[in-house]
Amino acid sequence: ETGVCGIAGLPARNALIEENVLQNNSRFPIAEVSESAGIKTHANQGTLIRRNLIMDNPINGIWMDWDNRDSRCTQNVMLNCGTGIFIEASVVEPFCLLDRNVIWGAKQGIYEHDCKNQAFVHNFMGQSELGLILRGKVTDRIIAGKYPAAGGGHTAANNAFFKVGKEIEETTSP
């Protein structure tokens, strides 16, 4: 139990984050602003986040922030988190794979913005307000010093939803 993040990393290159139990993180008032999650990493490049159990985080279960490439988030279980998984600002190949995760009791299951060409497959989301939220381009930031934020081109396939208010919400990027 921590006030902001259970596990945090900058950068998370060629890292393995595996088989952790993280509960009741994101409890300090700063958590309402940003930068908080059970697992919050930046620049996941060649990183594997798998088989973690994350419970009762009011903000994010897993937050893959900024310039994620060639990384995988798989076989994680998020229970009662504000957002199960948030991936942000990722536009450089090779793209990321978020698969085989279980998200239960979230406000939103998986959320992305300022990303393109990510793969969201074989995830299970239940008892949630929203399932998969694909926002696309939201800001005008430059990622990795030269790549503009972008959106679209995602693969969303074979995800399962149970008692989810809206399964997939996609916003077309300008």
User: Any idea which residue has 């996609």 for tokens?
Assistant: 170
pLDDT (tens digit per residue) in 67-108: 999 999 999 999 999 999 999 999 999 999 999 999 999 999
DSSP run (H or E) holding 165 = strand 160-170
- The confidence score (pLDDT) of residue 5 equals 84
Residues 84, 25: Cα–Cα separation, whole Å: 13
Q: Give the chain's count of helices (H) and strands (E).
A: 0, 21
Cα-atom radius of gyration of the chain, to the nearest Å? Answer: 14
Per-residue pLDDT tens digits for 21-75 = 999 887 666 655 577 899 999 999 999 999 999 999 888 999 999 999 999 999 9
Pair of tokens at residue 36: 């908080």
| Half-sphere exposure of residue 22: CA atoms within 13 angstroms, side-chain side | 33
Question: How much of the chain is in helix, strand and coil states, percent to nearest 5?
Answer: 0, 55, 45
Here the tokens at position 90 are: 């990722």
Enter the pTM of the model.
0.94
Q: Chain-wide mean pLDDT for the chain?
A: 93
